Each structure stands twice: as C-alpha cells, then as structure tokens.
Structure 1
Amino acid sequence: MQFKDIIGQEKVKAHLINTVKENRVSHAQLFLGPEGSGSLPLAVAYAQYINCENKQENDSCGSCSSCRKYAKIIHPDLHFSYPFFASHKEDTASTFIDQWRNSFLRNPYLNLETWRSSLDAGNKQANINIAECHHIIQKLSLKAFEAPYKVLIMWLPEFLDKEGNTLLKLIEEPPEKTLFLLVTQNQDQLLNTIISRTQLVKVNALDKVSLAEFLVREKGVSHEKALQLAYISEGNVQQALSLLSDDPGGGYFQLFVQWLRFCFGARVLDLLQLVEEDLSKLGRENQKSFLLYAIQMMRDVVLFKEGAKTLVHLPEAEMSFVEKFSPLYETAKLEACVSIFEKTSYYVERNANPKILFLDVSLQLVLLFKH
C-alpha cells in the first residue's frame, strides 16, 4: 500500500512523511478517524514507507523487496491484530490471517461488518482476546527478520477491553525498533491507559469531492451519481461502495421530492400508491440508502435555514430545492422530520414490513407539517 493509492488525506500523508524525514517516528501512534476515512490504509502505507529500501520524496518506491512484500501483506516484520470471532479460547488473529489478507487487499477501507461477512462468525461477538495479547508479546520479543522496524498494526483496539492492560508495558517500553500503530474509530471506547501512551494522528472524514472523484475514476460512476453517493455516505468510502453495489442505477432526488410533495399536500391516495409501487419495492438496502439521502437533505435544509449556507454543497437541482424549502417551516419541525427518518431507518434495519412502515411514516409527516 502506497500513499498514492489512498484517497485524499493529503495533509495527513504529508505529516506522516515528514515524521520519517525528520527522524521523529514515535514508537506508539494512535490513528483516530471515522469509519471509511482511510485510517487503516494510511497506517499500512506509513509502515511501508518507513521500511522502504529506496524511499522517494513523497512515497515508498513500490518496487524494492520490502515494498513488494508489503503490497501482498506478507512481509515477515509486518504484523496485524484485529477483532475476530473466536471458536476456541486459544484462537488468535493469526488463525484468521488468510481471510484478513484477502479482505484487506480486496478493500482496505473495510468495516467490521465487511470483515464479519468474510468469516464464519455466526452469533459470536468480536473481540481481541487475552490469547492474542500474549501472542503479540511473543511475536514482538523476537528480532526483526529483515526490515529496520518491526511493525504491529492493530485495527479497532477498542475491542481489547480490559485485556489491553496486558500490553501496557510493551507499548510503553517496546523492544528497539518496534512500532505500534493503533487504528481506532472511537477514542471513548479505548482504555485511557493506552491513549496516554500513544501519539495521536487525527484522520478526518474524507472530503466528498475526493470520494466522488475516486468513484468516477475507479468505478466508472457518472459524476452526478458519484456526488450523490459521496453525499449520502458522508465521506465514508466503505459505505459509498456498499451503496454503489446495492444501487448501481439512478438517484433518489425525484422520488424524495415527490414523496414530500404528497405528504405536505396530505394527498393520502397518492401516498398509498407511492408506498405500494415505489418505496416498498426498493428493497431493504435501497430503502436504507434512500432514508440516508432523506436525512442528509433535511439536515442541509436546516443548515441553510440557520445561515450556514457555505456548509451546503449540492448539485444544482438539490440546492434549488433546499433554497425553496428552507423558508417554509420552522427549524423545530425540520429537525423532527430528521428524527422521523432516523427512526424509520432503524426499523428498516430490523426488517419491518416496508408497506406498513412507509405508510406510517408518511402519515406522521402529514400530521407534522399540517400543525
């Protein structure tokens, strides 16, 4: 994984490269970023750059022996730890390394649900168990095989729970030339004792323009569709790819506007037909995507109404809708509308009957905007 392969995040890339150039590589670093932001591929690209035998100005060379092994995730001095679904108490991350390698190479922006789907997880809970902690200590006590640094990349250390205390001494006083890169999505769920022993690398959500450009360039999506996917996913690459897989066709804008128009006009017969012929037939994943789009649109209406127009970046048709719609209702009602959409998405996740659900939501909107 090279920095050039990672979508956007130019400031973070520059910071990481400079730490190597200036010989300021901290032995324990915490990459904190939301799901789909690129924290994990950034950590891998950083480790590859550190151990590259022919470093370039702004990236690893990609062709030396070390880089070739990093590209296949088979370097003997690169170790991974991650949540897994243990069948036996002696299971460790290494038990699932082949599945991990395939999952990461297929999609380095993977989330926990994607990872779960590649395993026979059943109803088991994901965690990083005590056997894994002992295995990490054992692996890192050995000398490096061929690289200047041994590197451990731990994805989602928030799944360590109290077992993480076993690693504290190793993180604080690691063997020479040993690098810990922890990649987390939720700092609040991490042990404070781990946070205090690491240097923070903040990774922001990916900007929507960079994500849209990636979808156009790599996935062959139209510019308009790419912007919509980036908008709905809020810069989450994994979610954008999932939405693309679930809905490779057109967008939701016309359906959303028609639905609201029927709700605001209390056109119950038209609503019945729309629910029957359109909304209920979208399929569960597309229904979730449609509701995500509705939530984002209504949030942008609130931003526009409250004077934060510079934060609203939409294609021409959607922006025109926001401009015309925002003066019609008070903020409290718009926020209540967002809340209704969020609850509906929750029930869609749990396989509620779509006809009953969307009809009920439609009637809620009728009542909300008539009072």
Structure 2
Amino acid sequence: MSFEDVPGQPRAKRFLRRLFQSGRIPHAMLFSGMAGVGKAAMALELVKLLNCHAPRDMNACDACGSCLKLRKGIHPDLLVVKAERAFIKLDQIREMRARLRFQPFEGKWRGIVIENAQALNEEAANALLKLLEEPPQRNIFLLTTLEPQMLLPTILSRCCHVRFQPLDLETLAKVLEEEHRMPESKARQVARLSEGSLERARCFGDEERMGQCKETLKKIEGLGRLTILELFPLVANWVQGNEALEQDLEWIKLWMRDLILYRLLKDHQSFSVPDERTLRAAGCVSVDTLFVLYDNIEKALQQLRRNANKNLVLEGVCIAIKDDLYGKNCRNSIPQRRKSLSF
C-alpha cells in the first residue's frame, strides 16, 4: 500500500509529498476530518515513506524490510495510541514518553500515531503538550481527529494541520466495486448516501450493520407509544453494554436527514434506509422542527465524543423525538422551535 492506495485526498497527498521532497519534516502533524476519509491510513503511509529503503515517485516501495514490517504492524519504530474506554489516559502518554528516551531502533524516523486525539483527557493532553514543546529528534507525532476544536489550542499551535475532505462519489463507488465486489448501480447508490465517508459506505453495504440500523429505528418508532416514565428504562437498557451507541445516533441522524429530504423534495429515492416509517413520520411535523431535531442529534454526537453521560445524552434525544415527532398533537399543530437540548 502507498499514498496512491489511500482513496481520494489529492491535496493532502500533494502536500505530504512536497514535505518529503523538501526534507523539512515537521515534528508534529494533525490530520483532521470526518470519520472514514483515510486519516489514520495516510498517517501510516507517511511513516512508511519516511522509513522506506527505496522510495519510488514519492511513494513507499512496499517491498523493503521496513515497509513489510510497517504493513504488518510489527515495526519497532511505530507507536499507535488509541483510546481505552473512551479516553486516552496519562499512563498511555507516560508509556509512550518512556519509549521516546531512546533513538529509533531500526528506521530513520519513529512514527507516533495518536488516533482520535480529541479523546485525550486533561492530564494526557498536558503531558503530550510537554513532549511537543521539546520534541525528541527523529520522532514525528501524527495526530488524527474528528474535531480539532476539542484539542488544546497550545497543541494545535504546535502541529502542522492537514485537513481531509469528504470523498467524492466516484472515488467511493470505485472502492466499493473493487474491494467489495458491489455491482456498479448499488455502489453508486451507497456512495451517494454515505456523505463522503468510506466507513459509512461500508456500513451501508454490510447486511448485518443494516440490520442493526433497522433495529435502532424500531426503537425510535416505538417512542410514540411510551409514557415518559416508560422511556427511561428503555434508554437504560439501550445504553447498557452498548459499545455502538455513537453508531446508533449516526443511524438516527441519517434517518432524520431522510425525513428532511422527503419534506423538502418528496424524494424517497435517496433514503438511507428505505422504510415506510420514514414516510409516516415525515408528514407529522414542520421542516423547521426536523432541522432542529437534526441539529440536536449532531450535538448529542459531539457530547458523546466528549465522554458525556450516555444515559443523559440518549434521554435528551429520545424525549425530543417523542415530543416533537410523535407528540399527541403533532398532526394538528406545528411544534415550537427548540433552541437546543441540554445534555
């Protein structure tokens, strides 16, 4: 795999190649963008290129010992830091710092990839900042994030920021056709619904995940039949042991998008999840209210990424949907616009 094998992102690739060609490699870089656009893959490819024994045309050769070890994830000069139970913690940064006391073992550069850096807790972020202020030589920090605004401004100021764009329809469709053996017509349909994310496109192409999506929407549809007291145990059971709660909210957000499309355009060909419940719900409320609900779900996702209380976040979403989408008088009056939900 080389830069060319990472789908899309031509601007990011040109920038990284210019850096490599110039030899002026920054000690820290931040790759930001939505999920599923290749940030982590590009970070690994940059580490591979920096350590490649025989790079060709600004790409790693994929054949030398260094490239093969990095591809298998066994290179001693690659450190990958990920969240453990929602946070990247101080102990993880301390363990990383201990490794950095030594020069790279085999390669020219040691690559430290910190995935979803917005998950750094306060202590870990401050410890990382100290490393970035006095970076050890021949080490490059590569941070990826969905939300750069959640990082300390002092960390942002010490990183070379590379913004990743949503993938275009043609790129997504090509990947789905070639890697997932998806027929061209279905690949284009799935690509159109994925809003630029390969991760989301793969979800749409996965029958098991689509089944999970439909189960999530069944729960949402059932909110209209519950009293407020019955809603709380539903939410508690939903949250308990659910490692995919963020994905569930993504499904609900996409469904809300479908409602908006139908109300505005009467377009049911572009539904993310073809389902008659979308048509039933869309006729119940104003477009204005649907936009507010959509915004509230997006805020709920941001709250989850900031490790807010899952029960409170989901309760807020479910109460808003119950009141505004399935309220008793929703067919006879337009619900009042909510400014925001408090999670």
Alignment of 1:58-207 (within 5 A): 58-85=58-85, 126-163=86-123, 164-207=125-168
CA distance in 2, matches of 1:76, 1:318: 47
Closer, same or farther in 2 for the Cα pair 1:159/1:341, shift >3 Å? closer
**Which of residues 202, 225, 228 in structure 1 aligns to 2:186?**
225
CA distance in 1, matches of 2:296, 2:89: 34
Aligned CA RMSD, in angstroms, stands at 4.0
TM-score (norm 2): 0.67
Deviation at 1:238, TM superposition (A): 1.6
Preserved contact between residue 161 and residue 190 of structure 1 (Cα < 8 Å): no
Deviation at 1:202, TM superposition (A): 0.9
CA distance in 2, matches of 1:216, 1:248: 19
| Corresponding residue for residue 325 of structure 1 | none
- Cα deviation code 1:211-262 (max 9, x no counterpart): 122112211223332233223221122222122213799xxxxxxxxxxxxx
Deviation at 1:189, TM superposition (A): 1.1
Structure 2 runs not aligned, ≥5 long: 211-244, 272-284, 301-313, 335-343
Which AA in structure 1 matches 2:78?
Answer: L
Q: Note if 1:336 corresponds to 2:286.
A: no
CA distance in 2, matches of 1:153, 1:344: 30
Percent identity between matched residues is 27
Structure 1 runs not aligned, ≥5 long: 86-125, 250-283, 306-313, 320-331
CA distance in 2, matches of 1:187, 1:61: 32
| Corresponding residue for residue 19 of structure 2 | 19
Find the residue that maps to 2:206 and give its secondary structure: helix
Deviation at 1:366, TM superposition (A): 4.9
Closer, same or farther in 2 for the Cα pair 1:151/1:216, shift >3 Å? same
Find the residue that maps to 1:183 and give its secondary structure: strand
Deviation at 1:342, TM superposition (A): 7.5
Number of equivalences:
272
Which AA in structure 2 matches 1:298?
Answer: I
Preserved contact between residue 90 and residue 121 of structure 2 (Cα < 8 Å): no
Which AA in structure 1 matches 2:44?
Answer: V
Which has the higher relative contact order, 1 or 2, with Cα contacts under 8 A spaced 6 or more apart?
1
Which AA in structure 2 matches 1:74?
Answer: I
| Corresponding residue for residue 5 of structure 1 | 5
CA distance in 1, matches of 2:329, 2:127: 52
Preserved contact between residue 30 and residue 199 of structure 1 (Cα < 8 Å): yes
Closer, same or farther in 2 for the Cα pair 1:342/1:176, shift >3 Å? closer
Q: Note if 1:241 corresponds to 2:202.
A: yes
Closer, same or farther in 2 for the Cα pair 1:227/1:366, shift >3 Å? farther
Preserved contact between residue 27 and residue 139 of structure 2 (Cα < 8 Å): yes
CA distance in 2, matches of 1:41, 1:18: 18
| Corresponding residue for residue 306 of structure 2 | none
| Corresponding residue for residue 208 of structure 1 | 169
CA distance in 2, matches of 1:212, 1:297: 25
